[in-house]
Structure 1
Amino acid sequence: MTGAGVPAGGPAGAWHPGGYLRFAGERARPFAELLARVGAEAPRTVVDLGCGEGSLTVSLAQRWPGARVTGVDSSREMLAAAGAAAHGRVEFRLGDVRDWMPPGPVDVVVSNAALHWVPGHPELMARWAAALPPGGWLAVQVPGNFRAPTHALLAELCRSPEWADRTADVAPRADTVLEPAGYAEVLTAAGLVPDVWETTYLHVLRGPDPVLAWVRSTVLRPVLARLDDEAAAAFTDAYAAALRAAYPPRPDGTTLLPFRRVFAVGTRPS
């Protein structure tokens, strides 16, 4: 999913569906595991907030054949790719998740790998939860790796003397997302029954600078949006060197990337 509500900021910062889908399998697995804990049997209305290029949104219609499914995203590039997946029961809309409120009863609200782009998103979750009808479900997944080397090294570089004047304010923050207990409190306070957990995936990546390739389409994107082509190349080279030291290739040429994710599912009792 994409950073719903985050301006693209120019070509370097635009969402590129091809780059994002390079790791489609790895990114789809948390979505499947999130939805496996949603017990809705026959919802009529399902909304996917921060739907990205739409392939996972379409899977919601396949799971619930009687539901009307809507995907919302702020990226025109991603929605252009999603348009090919739309059919009678699935539609995609351009919009900012910060502004979204259900126009009527929504039985299932899903947001996968999008809310970490939104400051203050726990309040947003509480607002969505408050609008759920009895028996409604809210399911959210966010990356929980903001203290991992991928993000810590990027933040350090963004705040270094050479780059701080251009990139310090877009450096990833360690407190971008809550710990699992924090999301459990958000759901409970909104009157939902919480089901919250975390998982660390160990991705086996291949190719040259594979960790850089992973982050280029996500956390690195808003940083490069602040730089011209020459500066972006210099910044990327420095970041790539740091990543190679933190995530060295194994003897077989693969690279291991531990990636933590936090899941929060809540339902309003019938």
Structure 2
Amino acid sequence: MSQDGHKDWDPGTYHRFRGHRLRPALDLLRALPALPEGPVVDLGCGAGDVGPALAQLGRRLEGVDLSPAMLYKARATDCYDALHQADISAWQAESPPALIFSNAALHWTHGHDILLPRLLAMLAPGGTLAVQVPAQNDAPSHRMWLALVEERYPGRVDPATIPGILRPAEYHALLAPQGETALWETEYYQYLAPQENGHPVRHFTQATFARPVLEPLTEAERTDLIAAYEAVIRTVYPVDESGGALFPFRRLFFTVTI
């Protein structure tokens, strides 16, 4: 996490929806091919939520993240043989990994046309790059943050700070020549539990996607933008009698074995 150069992540806020964020990682793990000898790297490991599952592969496990707060939490899992504080775009493996595994992190790093071939070049022969990234930017949950901030505070948010990914066809064109490539999307229908203050979709997105939208604003402006988002988002994702909401969330997966 924290690949965007903004203030550090809040693990407690991020973990509010931990189960929904962990499930795609476990689905990606189940799609892995046989691995050669070598370590496993959890790239963008965050608080180490996937660490226990990755440790079951029986390899040396290394975690990489830019956030000191997240690395502190990852260290407490006692799953990692080594943890490295580094930006994903600049990180270099110390020895060829059998697996570079990245769950919900690479969308914070731009230049995938350069980054992904560089990661593949680090792998041991027969090694795999396995990636999951949100593919939700076109959904109302994400579009409305950008539309509302531009409407109310035009020019305040730097587009370069907004997380994003390539289109599936662009990934296929980039990755297929590099090795055996599998590419797919899954839409998860997540039931978000009621929150004490506000719409659950707002809380879910505010902890991640909306961080660079809100950070340039003053406290009063943030309050105003959140109120505007709340007013709109409940018409798209209605809450039930208890205050919970069904939230469709699309994610993109790919594995490349060299």
Task: Give the TM-score, by structure 1 length.
Answer: 0.88
1:135 to 126, 129, 134: 126
1:194 to 181, 184, 208: 181
1:64 to 34, 57, 69: 57
Structure 2 gap ranges (5+): none
Q: C-alpha distance in 1, partners of 2:160/2:154?
A: 10
Contact 2:142 2:205 (8 Å CA) reproduced: no
Does residue 234 of structure 2 align to residue 244 of structure 1? yes
- Paired amino acid for 1:177: I
1:224 to 214, 217, 236: 214
2:106 to 99, 103, 115: 115
Q: C-alpha distance in 1, partners of 2:72/2:63?
A: 12
Q: C-alpha distance in 2, partners of 1:95/1:40?
A: 28
* Matched position secondary structure for 1:165: coil
Structure 1 gap ranges (5+): none
Does residue 191 of structure 2 align to residue 204 of structure 1? yes
Q: C-alpha distance in 2, partners of 1:171/1:255?
A: 28
What is the aligned partner in structure 1 of residue 9 from structure 2?
15
Deviation of 1:96 after TM superposition, in Å, equals: 0.2
Q: C-alpha distance in 1, partners of 2:13/2:249?
A: 18
Q: C-alpha distance in 2, partners of 1:40/1:81?
A: 30
Contact 1:210 1:255 (8 Å CA) reproduced: yes
- Runs of 4+ in structure 1 deviating by more than 6 angstroms, as ranges, are none
Q: C-alpha distance in 2, partners of 1:215/1:178?
A: 20
Structure 1 residues 43 and 103 mapped into 2: Cα distance closer, same or farther (>3 Å)? Answer: same
Number of residues paired by the alignment? 255
Q: Structure 2 matches for 1:68-79, cutoff 5 A? A: 68-79=60-71
Structure 1 residues 27 and 73 mapped into 2: Cα distance closer, same or farther (>3 Å)? Answer: same
Task: Give the TM-score, by structure 2 length.
Answer: 0.92
1:6 to 4, 7, 17: 4
What is the aligned partner in structure 2 of residue 24 from structure 1?
18
Identity of aligned residues (%): 37
RMSD (Å), alpha carbons: 1.9
